[in-house]
Amino acid sequence: MVNVKKGVLVTSDPAFRQLLIHLDDSRQLGSKFIIRELDDTHLFIEKEIVPMLESKVEQIMENMNPETNDNK
């Protein structure tokens, strides 16, 4: 039997890939979203999660860089 899922190929550096894996493992977006870990720089993730993932990553980046928060 063949299983088909719509997904998005994500290319990143290894550090950002680890952040995505952490978000997936800890289910911070409500569920697991990584369909397949392809190699050190590529992940195949569920298409539906992309808007929530972008928002979460933006939030994390803002929290890591407080200087940009002061300019808003």
Q: Which residue has the higher pLDDT, 64 or 70?
A: 64
pTM comes to 0.79
Residue with the two structure tokens 């998005």: 8
Contact of 62 with 68, CB cutoff 8 Å: yes
Instruction: Name all domains of the chain by residue range, CATH numbers in brackets.
Output: 8-64 (3.30.70.1220)
Instruction: Give 16-67 pLDDT, tens digit per residue.
Output: 999 999 999 999 999 999 999 999 999 999 999 999 999 999 998 899 887 7
What is the arithmetic mean of pLDDT over 5-12?
93
Q: In which band, very low, low, confident or very high, does the pLDDT at 71 lie, cut at 50, 70 and 90?
A: low
Give the C-alpha separation, 26 to 2, whole Å. 28
What is the arithmetic mean of pLDDT over 1-12?
91
Give the C-alpha separation, 12 to 17, whole Å. 6
